């Protein structure tokens, strides 16, 4: 009984500390969720984007460090900005276990990964981005540490077994093997990585102090939080204060990873932090465009989003990332890819473009999907680079984030929507598809309005008798705006 009383007191003290840190965090350098709505994010792996010396030779081992640095990013910000991006998402920055080029194997929370550069280099990167009006989002991990088995002496500052969940209720190897089992997900090890116990006051308070410190020290504008559901009690009212306090301690926009396709499940975490990555829609888009399944799937997912999420406008929309085979690995037709990218860039949410998409990279499972970008020699003339550049620049000019997404037409092979005066038409037919024609009768334009195609300005239609026709040839997508 005394032990239970002490644990209860410790937990109350932890929650009070959370509240105090939340108040203190209000003075931190911050970019809010509302400010992030207008941004287009370029996700890169620090180790794979660019080397400091400009070397463009291939990397012989994608499972280890390849040589990308903070200085390499600084040297190539023109490339990112030319693509139309005004925010970057970089890898976790702390010291990692040997081979942790990706940043998710932390061993020392208090020092910067020397493979990426120095603290001064990181300061310089953020300063250089801010000078260009670009935001910087840092990836962070609060669920686990590097693969040290049970030798916790290697971890700073969590160097004691009491800082981790016990394996007593886990499978024999302590690793999650049933992702329908909430207890396993929350207390067992993800891929064998020791699982931090955030209900331990030292662990919880240290993580809150740490996130507050790094966002303030480096003036980050946002954080991407890894493995949100894997933290024990994330979805329960008794322990939910941890993620809420983590967000508040960060003092900036926070977007979390909930790697799951169930809309209601993923949406349940938005109440804890600003936003989550839009995984259910990403899976829908991959099915629609990569596998050419019915486009009515988009309609269904959009409807589920509307009834489940608190705010869809701040979710992170994407089609590719570092944890899944690239779209072009499963579907080589770049016309289909352009349709998927167009939907991602102009639909509701904050678009995220994974580095290499603009170069047509097609890597498979990790680490093949984490190719060095420098082998492309930062080519700004590829068809996909030009396509993304055109759409991202248009997104800023039209300020589509200020308008709701309204579905205008949906069937098995055609999906159209508007954002304000912008009309977007997509198809999943691919480059060999026959011509598709749809008559649009539900739209916001008065008779006589001339609508012209962003990609081919001479391709125009006029609204007559309250309707207009959209013709798609060879699987193309179109963006119409009034002239």
pLDDT (tens digit per residue) in 296-313: 999 999 999 999 999 999
- Do 59 and 114 touch, CB atoms closer than 8 A? no
| pLDDT over threshold 90, residue 382 | yes
Tokens found for residue 477? 């997508």
% residues pLDDT > 70 (the chain): 92
Q: What is the DSSP letter of 328?
A: H
* Active centre residues (catalytic): 226, 257
**What confidence category does residue 280 fall into, taking pLDDT thresholds of 50, 70 and 90?**
very high
| pLDDT over threshold 50, residue 151 | yes
pLDDT in tens, 441-459: 999 999 999 999 999 999 9
% residues pLDDT > 90 (the chain): 91
Q: What is the mean pLDDT of residues 461-465?
A: 98
pLDDT reported for residue 237 = 47
Mean residue pLDDT across the chain: 93
Q: Which residues is 223 bridged to in the sheet?
A: 138, 254
| pLDDT over threshold 90, residue 46 | yes
pLDDT in tens, 152-207: 999 999 999 999 999 999 998 999 999 999 999 999 999 999 999 999 999 999 99
Q: What is the mean pLDDT of residues 277-287?
A: 98
How many Å apart are CA 292 and CA 311, to the nearest integer? 29
pLDDT reported for residue 233 = 63
pLDDT in tens, 114-139: 999 999 999 999 999 999 999 999 99
**Taking the chain, what is the end-to-end CA distance rounded to the nearest angstrom?**
75
| pLDDT over threshold 50, residue 239 | no
Tokens found for residue 369? 């999907």
pLDDT reported for residue 271 = 84
**What confidence category does residue 234 fall into, taking pLDDT thresholds of 50, 70 and 90?**
low
How many Å apart are CA 191 and CA 66, to the nearest integer? 23
C-alpha angle 321/197/152, rounded to 5°? Answer: 90
| pLDDT over threshold 70, residue 435 | yes
pLDDT reported for residue 241 = 81
Nearest in space to 13 (alpha carbons), one of 303, 180, 166, 208: 208
Calculate the alpha carbon distances from 176 to 102, 162, 194, 361 in Å: 21, 20, 11, 31
| pLDDT over threshold 60, residue 28 | no
Q: What is the mean pLDDT of residues 331-349?
A: 98
Q: What is the mean pLDDT of residues 311-317?
A: 98
pLDDT reported for residue 235 = 54
Strand order in 222-225's β-sheet? 275-276, 253-256, 222-225, 135-140, 87-90, 41-43, 350-354, 316-317
pLDDT in tens, 343-370: 999 999 999 999 999 999 999 999 999 9
Asked which of 85-94, 237-246, 323-332, 338-347 is least confident by mean pLDDT, the reply is 237-246
pLDDT reported for residue 8 = 45
């Amino acid at each position: 009984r005394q032990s239970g009383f002490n644990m209860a007191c410790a937990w109350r003290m932890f929650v009070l500390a959370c509240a105090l840190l939340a108040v203190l965090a209000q003075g931190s350098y911050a970019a809010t969720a509302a400010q992030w709505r207008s941004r287009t994010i370029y996700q890169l792996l620090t180790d794979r984007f660019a080397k400091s010396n400009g070397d463009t030779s291939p990397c012989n081992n994608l499972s280890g460090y390849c040589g990308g640095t903070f200085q390499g990013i600084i040297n190539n910000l023109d490339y990112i900005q030319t693509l139309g991006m005004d925010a970057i998402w970089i890898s976790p920055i702390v010291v990692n276990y040997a081979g942790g080029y990706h940043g998710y194997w932390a061993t020392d929370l208090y020092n910067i990964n020397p493979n990426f550069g120095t603290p001064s280099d990181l300061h310089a990167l953020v300063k250089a981005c801010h000078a260009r009006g670009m935001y910087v989002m840092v990836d962070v991990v609060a669920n686990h540490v590097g693969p040290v088995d049970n030798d916790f002496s290697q971890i700073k500052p969590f160097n004691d077994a009491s800082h981790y969940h016990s394996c007593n209720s886990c499978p024999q190897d302590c690793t999650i093997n049933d992702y329908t089992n909430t207890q396993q997900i929350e207390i067992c090890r993800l891929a064998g990585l020791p699982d931090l116990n955030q209900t331990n006051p030292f662990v919880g308070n240290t993580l809150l102090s740490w996130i507050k410190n790094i966002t303030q020290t480096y003036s980050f504008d946002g954080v991407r939080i890894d493995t949100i559901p894997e933290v024990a009690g994330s979805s329960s009212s008794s322990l939910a204060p941890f993620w809420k306090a983590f967000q508040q301690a960060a003092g900036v926009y926070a977007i979390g990873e909930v790697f799951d396709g169930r809309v209601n499940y993923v949406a349940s975490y938005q109440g804890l932090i600003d936003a989550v990555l839009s995984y259910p829609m990403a899976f829908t888009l991959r099915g629609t465009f990569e596998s050419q399944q019915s486009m009515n799937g988009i309609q269904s997912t959009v409807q589920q989003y509307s009834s489940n999420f608190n705010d869809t406008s701040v979710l992170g929309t994407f089609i590719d990332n570092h944890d899944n085979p690239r779209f072009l690995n499963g579907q080589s037709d770049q016309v289909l890819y352009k349709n998927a990218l167009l939907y991602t860039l102009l639909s509701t949410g904050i678009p995220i473009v994974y580095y290499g998409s603009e170069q047509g990279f097609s890597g498979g499972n990790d680490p093949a999907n984490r190719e060095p970008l420098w082998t492309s020699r930062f080519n700004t003339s590829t068809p996909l680079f030009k396509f993304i550049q055109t759409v991202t620049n248009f997104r800023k000019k039209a300020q589509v984030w200020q308008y709701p997404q309204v579905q205008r037409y949906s069937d098995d092979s055609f999906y159209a929507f508007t954002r304000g005066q912008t009309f977007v038409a997509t198809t999943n037919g691919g480059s060999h598809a026959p011509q598709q024609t749809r008559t649009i009768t539900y739209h916001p334009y008065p008779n006589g309005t001339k609508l012209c195609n962003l990609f081919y300005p001479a391709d125009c239609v006029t609204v007559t008798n309250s309707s207009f026709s959209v013709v798609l040839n060879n699987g193309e997508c179109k963006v119409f705006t009034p002239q």
